[in-house]
Amino acid sequence: MTQEYTAESRVDGAEDNDPPKKSRFRGFVDRWRGDRGIWRRGVLLALLSVLTALLMIMHAQVPNRIGNLGSLNETFLPWLGLLVPLILLGALVRRSATALIALLLPAVVWLNLFGGLILDKSGAGGDLTVATHNVNAQNPDPEGTARQLVDSGADVVALEELKASAVPTYEKALAATYKYHSVQGTVGLWSKYPLTGSRPVDIKMGWTRAMRATVTTPQGEIAVYVAHLPSVRVKLHAGFTANQRDNSADALGEAIEDEKLQRVVLLGDLNGTMNDRSLKAVTSQMRSTQGAAGDGYGFSWPASFPLARIDQIMVRDVEPKSSWTLPRTGSDHLPIAARIEL
C-alpha cells in the first residue's frame, strides 16, 4: 500500500509540474497577438467591405446610363449582405485585423437598411384582405390555382398574365366566392363587394395590362388598380433592359396621381422592387404593405427559390395591418396577400 501510494504521489507530482494546456481559443488569440502582419494583410478584403457598404448607402447614385446598373443593383440590394459572412471568413483565414474592422461598415449599413425586415411587423385587425397573383400564362393548373386563392380568404383578388383561353376557367372557379369581377386585357379583379367604374389604364404598352375599378366595401369606396408592368431582362450586351418597364411605371404613377378617390390600393406584378428608383413615380406616393406590416422579406419570384419581391401590394390613405406570401401554385410567382384597415 505504501509503495502504491508513493507511486501515485510521484505521478501526481509530475502532472503538477507540466505546463498548463492552452485552450484552442487562447492559442488562436496568442497567434494573432504575436503576428505583426495582421494589419498589413487583408487590404483587398477591407476594400471589398468599403465598396459593399458604398453600394448599399449610395445605391441611388449608381448610374443607370450604362446597362441600368443602378436598377439592377437595387433589385437585389438585400443580397449584398451575403458578402458580409464571406468577407468575415476570408478575414479569419487571412488573420487580418484590418479586414475585420472594415467589415463592421457593411454589417452596420445592412442592418440599418434591411435588419428591420427580418422582424415580424404584422398586427391584428383590419377590414379587408386583398391578394394578387401573376398566374403565369403557361400555368398547367389554372383551376387549382384559383382554388388556392379562394382558400386564402381574400375579399379582393387581382390576377395578372391572364391568357384569354384560361379566363373562363378562372371565372368558373372563382364565381361561387366572388360575385363581382372584371377582366381587362390580361389582368382581372375579383371581389366579394360590388365593383363599379371598371376600365383599362393605359401604361404605354400597346395592349391592356392594367386596370382600375371602384370597390364598395362596408367601410366605403376604395380605388383598386391592377397592373402588370413589362418584364425586365439581364443581357450581357445590353445590361439590365428595363426601359419599357420604366416608361409604364411613369404612366401608372400619373394615373394614380390623378385618381379622385383618396383611398387607393395597387395590386400587381411591377417587375421591380421598392428599392428600384425607376418605380419612384409609383413608390413616391404609395406605401408597401410588406415594408409596413410584413413578416420577413416576402420575396415572391421565382417561386422555386424566391430572390426578389417584384409582386407588390401598395396603399394610399389606407393602413396596412399585415402582409404575407401564400403557398406556391402552378405559377412561377408566389401569390401575396395583405390585411388592411380602411
Question: According to the model, what pLDDT value does residue 331 have?
Answer: 98
Domain boundaries, the chain: 2-118, 128-341
Q: Does residue 135 contact residue 161 with C-beta atoms inside 8 Å? A: yes
Q: Which residues contact 189 (CB under 8 A, 6 or more apart)?
A: 156, 157, 158, 159, 181, 182, 183, 195, 198, 211, 213, 224, 226, 267
Query: pLDDT, tens digit, for every residue of 147-196?
Result: 999 999 999 999 999 999 999 999 999 999 999 999 999 999 999 999 99
Q: In whole angstroms, how large is the CA radius of gyration of the chain?
A: 28
Question: According to the model, what pLDDT value does residue 178 have?
Answer: 98
Which set of grid coordinates corresponds to residue 159?
Answer: 390576377
Indicate the SS3 state at residue 225: strand
- Range with the poorest average pLDDT among 7-11, 180-184, 201-205, 327-331: 7-11
Name residue, grid cell 402582409.
323
Which set of grid coordinates corresponds to residue 199?
Answer: 376600365
Q: Dump strand ranges (E) for the chain.
A: 128-134, 156-160, 180-184, 187-191, 195-200, 210-217, 220-228, 233-235, 239-241, 264-269, 287-288, 311-316, 319-325, 336-341
d(CA 245, CA 272): 9
Of 279, 278, 331, nearest in space to 302 by CA: 331
Average of per-residue pLDDT across 131-141: 98
Mean pLDDT estimate for the chain: 89
> Between the CA atoms of 144, 146, 150 and 151, what dihedral angle is there, to the nearest 10 degrees?
30
d(CA 289, CA 272): 15
d(CA 270, CA 312): 7
Indicate the SS3 state at residue 292: helix
Question: According to the model, what pLDDT value does residue 6 have?
Answer: 47
Residue 286 has pLDDT above 80, yes or no: yes
Question: According to the model, what pLDDT value does residue 103 have?
Answer: 96
d(CA 271, CA 301): 9
Task: Please state, for a pLDDT cut of 70, what percent of the chain lies above it.
Answer: 87
d(CA 49, CA 42): 11
Of 185, 319, 312, 327, nearest in space to 263 by CA: 319
Max CA separation in the chain (angstroms) = 106
Question: According to the model, what pLDDT value does residue 5 have?
Answer: 46
Question: According to the model, what pLDDT value does residue 84 have?
Answer: 96
Q: How confident is the model at residue 15 (pLDDT cuts 50, 70, 90)?
A: low
Q: Which residues contact 63 (CB under 8 A, 6 or more apart)?
A: 69, 70
- pTM here is 0.83
Average of per-residue pLDDT across 201-220: 96
Q: Which amino acid is at 25?
A: F
Question: According to the model, what pLDDT value does residue 18 have?
Answer: 56
Query: pLDDT, tens digit, for every residue of 78-103?
Result: 999 999 999 999 999 988 999 999 99
Task: Please state, for a pLDDT cut of 90, what percent of the chain lies above it.
Answer: 72
Residue 333 has pLDDT above 80, yes or no: yes
Architecture of domain 128-341: 4-Layer Sandwich (3.60)
